[in-house]
Amino acid sequence: MDESAGDAATGESVADAPVAEDDALAAPTGATTSADKAGPAGGGKKQRPFWKEVPLLVVAAIVMAVIIKTFFVQAFFIPSQSMQNTLQPGDRVLVDKLSPWFGATPQRGQVIVFQDPGGWLNGEDLPAPSSNSVERDFQSVLSTIGLMPSANDQDLIKRVIAVGGDTVVCKSGSPVSVDGVALSEPYIYPGATPCNDYPVGTVTVPKGDLWVMGDHRNDSADSRYQRLYNSAGGGFVPLKDVVGRAFVVAWPVSHWSVLSVPSTFHQSGLSAAALPAAADSAALVLPLSLWYVRRRRNRR
């Protein structure tokens, strides 16, 4: 499996808070300050001790983490070699789960995480669960709140090669072509062949589906493999099964990189996908920008 696959804090500037003059400094010698007048029963709100605040902060942080994992960003773990060299076994990627809520759909060249459409995991490596029960329970808790990838997610990760309505040609000894445009694929694993292992010929992707491939073509049970050896689904990934788009390798630090769309998918014959891709980014950025502007106005 490519993924058992398992994903923010905000603060206020002290500069936004009004600064009050210190009564003790402002009052003349011998004068009674407002603090003295107020006394212990001056009506001021008594601050909780720090040790009482900590549990509330922890609960708030957990709630925020669950919300972020559910609706915004989730971390996923890469257990297999099928996306090398773009992704290495053990990498953690962050997946954008917000864009689909605004109608954005995956575009050619994007790396996506999706739920098993049916029988795909039989041809993929699955992560081995820990033999330590305490470690398994700890991982389960952290994965629930989105701080660690889950070891039980039935998800995969591949690159989108074609979208609904596209015609893919995948023949032995030839590059992959989409709608008649041959793809130069510098991202595939060194020495791997585009289609030699599973030459499926000519395939038209139905509307509402995707055609996906692993970057390590000789070690990926992707759409080609599924079409030849899995009788269900024809090798297509329904849009409803897409979890989100992987946009960055977050861990380990030495592997950090942005998962951008390769230039081969920006060729003129495939330019129709460029506008939806831009809309995808806008769907993520625009709502957050509007929220921020509205929040700033309300505070004035």
Residues with active-site annotation: 82, 158
Residue range 211-229, pLDDT digits in tens = 999 999 999 999 999 999 9
Residue 20 has a pLDDT of 38
What type of residue sits at position 44?
G
Taking alpha carbons only, the member of 2, 35, 192, 31 closest to residue 112 is: 2
Q: Kindly indicate the confidence band of residue 60, based on its pLDDT and cuts at 50, 70 and 90.
A: low
**Weakest mean pLDDT among 38-47, 116-125, 190-199:** 38-47
Mean pLDDT on 54-68: 61
Residue range 271-297, pLDDT digits in tens = 554 334 434 444 444 454 555 556 556
- State the DSSP H helix or E strand holding residue 62, giving kind and residue range, or none if neither: helix 50-71
Residue range 227-253, pLDDT digits in tens = 999 988 899 999 999 999 999 999 899
**DSSP assigned state of 235:** G
Residue 231 has a pLDDT of 82
pLDDT > 90? residue 174: yes
- State the DSSP H helix or E strand holding residue 285, giving kind and residue range, or none if neither: helix 274-299
Taking alpha carbons only, the member of 253, 269, 158, 266 closest to residue 212 is: 158
The verdict on whether omega for the bond into residue 127 sits within 30 degrees of 0, i.e. cis, is no
**Parallel, antiparallel or unpaired: strands 111-115 and 155-163:** antiparallel
Residue 132 has a pLDDT of 65
Signed CA dihedral, 260, 6, 144, 105: sign only: positive
Residue 75 has a pLDDT of 84
Structure tokens at 45: 């709100």
Residue 251 has a pLDDT of 87
Question: Considering the chain, what percentage of its residues have pLDDT values greater than 90?
Answer: 42
